[in-house]
């Protein structure tokens, strides 16, 4: 019960799980009623996932008789074990569908295979599972989410317009085992290489504000000539700004991000961050839920669904 309650607390789902009899040997019986959909996200401390959760909750409210939503998240970006634990709990709860943004594109595959084997519909959103790991397990999985390489390229091209060929720049990557982090790095590289910039270093900030702050502090010590820092998400762009301010280098160094969170919009208005990418967090889970409902109703076709990415600058916020 202790683990279960811990997961429930982390997920903000205490009542739902206790009422459903979490922790009983063999798990509770499958309840009757409309389909139950579990949304499994990453760090709820990241505004991106808060927005995703709010979008899903609003959709459920508007379709209250159509399905029940169990929204779950973890406490920090890299707590892969906690996310695996949540999926296990959802399998025990016999949910009908799992809509998951995996914290790690490889490590979550086996537990999602257990969910599929238990007859649960699994839809992959936001961060794509690793194709080779899926193939290894002979699993097919539908993906609902953006083209991250395209999104990062848009932000990189916006930055390139402010730089001149040969300028030294640095990339702050997301978590190393996240497919979307890898794609964003490639998108930044596409834009920088096309414009002739020099990428002098690329390191992971693990999606987190504080980790990125430390990484960027080190980068600017080692490469004081840096003209820009390209961050694979907005949390890390905030960390980069703090590090640059502390080193009194913010006015000489351009920062870009990805996610379009409120805190970064404020920094863009102040001129501290040049641009970000809106990947419409509020819609991604909703599309995944709608897709899961279609599959449950046997009306969904087996195809991935690409969601939009849009470049956001201070101009868009006026
Ligand atoms: C990704 C999202 C966001 C987010 C990051 C942190 O999957 O797409 O960009 O900031 O996870 O977990």
Q: How far apart are CA 193 and CA 160, in angstroms?
A: 10
Mean pLDDT of 103-112: 96
Length of the chain: 318
pLDDT at residue 12 is higher than 60: no
If residue 117 lies in a helix (H) or strand (E), which one and from where to where? helix 109-117
DSSP state of 58: H
Tokens 């085992």, residue? 177
Report the separation in Å between the CA atom of 124 and the middle of ligand 1, taken as the mean of its atom positions: 14
Mean pLDDT of 229-236: 98
Closest CA to 219 of 286, 171, 147: 171
Crossing angle for the helix pair 80-92 and 109-117, to the nearest 10 degrees = 0
Residue 77 Cβ < 6 Å to ligand 1: yes
Q: How far apart are CA 209 and CA 202, in angstroms?
A: 16
Report the separation in Å between the CA atom of 73 and the middle of ligand 1, taken as the mean of its atom positions: 13
Closest CA to 184 of 198, 171, 196: 171
The first and second tokens of residue 267, run together, are 């920094």
pLDDT at residue 82 is higher than 90: yes
Q: How confident is the model at residue 30 (pLDDT cuts 50, 70, 90)?
A: confident
What does DSSP say about strands 254-256 and 228-231: parallel, antiparallel, or unpaired? parallel
In this chain, the answer to whether the domains covering 28-145+282-305 and 148-278 adopt an identical fold is: yes
Shortest-distance Cα residue to atom 12 of ligand 1: 77
Residue 315 burial by Cβ neighbours in a 10 Å radius (0-12, 13-18, 19+): exposed
Report the separation in Å between the CA atom of 188 and the middle of ligand 1, taken as the mean of its atom positions: 16
What's residue 317's pLDDT? Answer: 86
The first and second tokens of residue 189, run together, are 């590289």
Phi, psi for 258 (deg, rounded to 5):
-160, 120
Q: At a CB cut-off of 8 Å and minimum separation 6, what does 230 contact?
A: 152, 155, 156, 159, 169, 170, 171, 172, 188, 192, 256
Domain ranges of the chain: 28-145+282-305, 148-278
Shortest-distance Cα residue to atom 8 of ligand 1: 126
Q: How far apart are CA 290 and CA 41, in angstroms?
A: 16
Report the separation in Å between the CA atom of 277 and the middle of ligand 1, taken as the mean of its atom positions: 12
Residue 89 Cβ < 6 Å to ligand 1: no
The CATH number, out of the four listed (1.25.40.80, 3.40.50.2300, 3.40.50.1260, 3.40.190.10), of the domain defined by the range 28-145+282-305: 3.40.50.2300
Name which of 85-94, 230-239, 296-305 the model is least confident about: 296-305
What's residue 25's pLDDT? Answer: 38
Residue 43 Cβ < 6 Å to ligand 1: yes
Residue 258 Cβ < 6 Å to ligand 1: yes
CA-49 nearest atom, ligand 1: 4
Residue 177 Cβ < 6 Å to ligand 1: no
User: What kind of fold does domain 148-278 have according to CATH?
Assistant: Rossmann fold (3.40.50)
Report the separation in Å between the CA atom of 271 and the middle of ligand 1, taken as the mean of its atom positions: 23
Q: How confident is the model at residue 302 (pLDDT cuts 50, 70, 90)?
A: low
| Local structure of 171: helix, strand or coil | strand
Please state the pTM of the whole predicted model: 0.89
């Amino acid at each position: 019960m202790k683990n279960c309650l811990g997961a429930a607390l982390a997920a903000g789902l205490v009542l739902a799980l206790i009422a459903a009899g979490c922790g009983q040997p063999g798990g509770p019986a499958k309840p009757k009623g409309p389909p139950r959909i579990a949304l499994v996200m990453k760090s709820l401390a990241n505004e991106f996932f808060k927005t995703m959760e709010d979008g899903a909750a609003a959709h459920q409210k508007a379709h209250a008789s159509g399905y029940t939503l169990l929204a779950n998240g973890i406490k920090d970006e890299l707590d892969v074990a906690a996310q695996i634990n949540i999926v296990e709990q959802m399998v025990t709860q016999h949910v009908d569908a799992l809509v998951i943004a995996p914290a790690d594109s490889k490590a979550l595959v086996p537990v999602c295979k257990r969910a599929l084997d238990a007859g649960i519909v699994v839809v992959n959103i936001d961060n794509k599972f690793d194709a080779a790991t899926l193939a290894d397990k002979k699993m097919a999985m539908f993906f609902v989410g953006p083209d991250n390489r395209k999104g990062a390229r848009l932000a990189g091209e916006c930055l390139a317009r402010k730089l001149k060929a040969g300028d030294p720049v640095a990339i702050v990557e997301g978590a190393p085992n996240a497919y979307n982090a890898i794609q964003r790095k490639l998108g930044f590289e596409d834009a920088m290489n096309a414009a002739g910039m020099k990428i002098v270093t690329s390191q992971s900030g693990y999606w987190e504000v504080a980790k990125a702050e430390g990484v960027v502090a080190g980068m600017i010590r080692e490469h004081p000539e840096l003209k820009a820092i390209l961050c694979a998400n907005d949390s890390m762009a905030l960390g980069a700004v703090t590090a640059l301010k502390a080193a009194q280098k913010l006015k000489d160094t351009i920062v870009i991000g990805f996610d379009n969170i409120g805190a970064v919009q404020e920094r863009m208005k102040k001129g501290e961050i040049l641009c970000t990418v809106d990947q419409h967090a509020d819609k991604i889970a909703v599309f995944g839920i709608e897709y899961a409902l279609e599959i449950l109703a046997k009306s969904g076709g087996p195809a991935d669904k690409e969601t939009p990415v849009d470049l956001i600058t201070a101009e868009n916020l006026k």
